[in-house]
């Protein structure tokens, strides 16, 4: 009886592709860093985790506090750093993707309000599935490095 119930539950989970313990997509370690005074843009780093059984695709990041937000990647090839725009980022099933210094990053241009250190900055993450995540963090002034 117990065995049949367990199998039933497993089938249900498999059927709907959802995790029994929390959301499928989560964003952690979000840091939004103001540029040096007088310079632009601000930059954001974070880790996006996908606990689901299917890949998810991040298609846009936006913020009501910036006129323009773009995803980019610093690519280091033969010792030369170049920036490439990213139209989307795929996070395969049961994995995570890091946006970190020297790699993927979000660039935030033309702040619509003053950039005050410690002020709350909200970023909205839009996925191809239509799912949206809104995360808020205090504005930092230093890039997190090891």
Partner 1 sequence: MASSTKTLTIIVLTLAALVGSVLLLTLGPRQAPSPEHALRLPDPKSLPEFELLDQDAKRITNDWFDDQWTLVFFGFTSCPDICPATLQVLSLARAKLANEDGMRELPEILLISVDPGRDSPEILKTYVAHFGDGVSGATGSQKELQKLTTALGVYFAIEEPESIDDPGNYNVAHSAHVVVIDNHGRYHAVFSAPHTVDAFVSDLPILMQAYRR
Q: Which residues bind partner 1 (CB under 8 A)?
A: 33, 35-43, 72, 74, 76, 79-83, 85, 101-102, 105, 107, 141-143, 145-146
Q: How far apart are CA 46 and CA 111, in angstroms?
A: 20
Which CB, 24 or 44, lies closer to partner 1? 44
Give the nearer residue to partner 1 in terms of CB position, either 3 or 142: 142
DSSP state at residue 17: T
Shortest distance, position 122 Cβ to partner 1, whole Å: 19
* Neighbour count for residue 32 (Cβ, 10 Å): 26
Minimum CB separation of residue 30 from partner 1 in Å reads 16
Distance of alpha carbon 71 from the chain centroid: 10
| Beta carbon nearer to partner 1, 24 or 121 | 121
> Minimum Å distance from CB 102 to partner 1?
5
Residue 141 CB, nearest distance to partner 1 (Å)?
Answer: 8
d(CA 131, CA 79): 38
């Amino acid at each position: 009886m117990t065995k049949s119930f367990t199998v039933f539950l497993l089938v249900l989970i498999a059927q709907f592709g959802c995790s029994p313990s929390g959301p499928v997509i989560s964003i952690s370690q979000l840091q939004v860093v103001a540029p040096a005074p007088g310079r632009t843009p601000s930059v954001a780093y974070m880790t996006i985790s996908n606990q689901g059984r299917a890949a998810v695709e991040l298609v846009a990041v936006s913020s009501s506090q910036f006129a323009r937000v773009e995803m980019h990647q610093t690519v280091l090839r033969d010792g030369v750093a170049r920036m490439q725009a990213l139209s989307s980022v795929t996070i395969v099933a049961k994995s995570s993707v890091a946006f970190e210094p020297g790699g993927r990053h979000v660039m935030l241009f033309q702040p619509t309000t003053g950039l005050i250190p410690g002020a709350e900055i909200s970023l909205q993450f839009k996925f191809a599935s239509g799912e949206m995540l809104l995360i808020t963090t205090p504005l930092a002034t230093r890039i997190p490095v090891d």
